[in-house]
Amino acid sequence: MGNVFAAEKNASPLGAGSPPLMGMPMPPVSPGAAAALAAANKANNDLPNPGNFEDLFKKVKEIFPTPLEGCKLVVNKGLSNHFQVSHTLSLSAFNPSSYHFGSTYVGSKQISPNESFPVLLGDIDTSGSLNAQIIHQLADRIRSKFVVQTQQTKWGVYQAELEYKGPSYTGVLTMANIDPLEGTGIAVAHYMQSITQRLAVGAELLYHCGQGQQAAVVSLAGKYAADNWIASSTVGPTAFHAAYYHKGKEVQIGVEFESNLRGRESSVSLGYQVDLPAANVVFKGMVDTNWTVAAVLEKRLQPMPFTFILSGVINQTKNQCRFGFGLMIG
């Protein structure tokens, strides 16, 4: 979602933007004060970019397993250096079986070793549901994103996002499902600012209107990033969300706490990821306070471009078990 930002400027004794009085000499600046000011400006310029508001819990989310149910086959095929297609077949006894066709195009405008633009992503299934995204770097610091989602033959989501990355801040503005004729839509503004080399704070403003009603919600956020751990949190009028991520040599651990203040419901989840490069194995596990236990094992079958996946999830209170396996080619 999005943000807006502001830049600080030196204010005159009469207030921000006020010029000095005519004929009145400005007081001299001592060498010590000038050196301190230069050091402060340099420290401010050396502050890292804090990233996006949506990335606050990204590290924790990545180590949580995504269980399969039934069997799944994924085939990825690169047609050129810029174009790739994928085929995904899912068979399940509890959910409808489906086939997805996906395509990815990456342009030739390279801004870093790992980033090239524009990026076009598309996915469509047998029911006609479509998910499409266009991501493009408009300028050195400005990035745009367009998303369209349909549910069979009906429009689901259409949104536009504009992101600006400053030296020590990030601002994003997102507009979703805007309909001027009906007077409906959602607008979200995000802002993240680095305070020190490790600490960043931010805020989110969400405005929603529709069906003759409108509402605005403000949330605050904070993130502290050390060398091998990250603590982040968001708090608003109706929800509180906090997470802790720790990275070891072969093990990554994450703890997530979510509380719905309006519904008076809370949950805690513990997840971990174990990487065994020598065995080409990645194992992810999770347990939460709702008595759900899940695990996913991924094994690369080198030298072939195959990845075998085993998955299981069980809930003790609901007496539910789901198991699955998958094969990824390419």
In Å, how far are 38, 101, 190, 298, 308 from 294, measured between CA atoms?
A: 53, 27, 33, 14, 17
Tell how strand 292-300 and strand 281-288 pair up. antiparallel
The answer to whether 242 and 255 are in contact (CB under 8 A) is no
Q: What is the reported pLDDT for 26?
A: 40
Residue 317 is classified by DSSP as T
Q: What is the pLDDT of residue 292?
A: 95
Domains of the chain, with CATH numbers?
Answer: 54-329 (2.40.160.10)
Q: What is the four-CA torsion angle of 274, 276, 282, 286, rounded to 10 degrees?
A: -20
Note the pLDDT tens digit of each residue in 98-149: 999 999 999 998 888 888 999 999 999 998 899 999 999 999 999 999 999 9
SS3 category, 55: helix
Q: Give one DSSP letter per residue of 199-214, joined into a string.
A: EEEEEEEEEEEETTEE
- Run means of pLDDT, 10 residues per run, the chain, 330 residues: 38 38 40 48 72 93 94 96 96 88 94 90 94 95 96 89 96 94 92 97 95 91 96 96 96 96 93 96 96 96 94 92 94
pLDDT for the residue numbered 45: 58
Handedness of CA 10, 193, 51, 137 (dihedral sign): negative
Kindly report the pTM of this predicted structure.
Answer: 0.81
pLDDT at site 155: 86
Q: What is the pLDDT of residue 19?
A: 38
The pLDDT score that the predictor gives to residue 125 is 94
Q: What is the pLDDT of residue 113?
A: 85
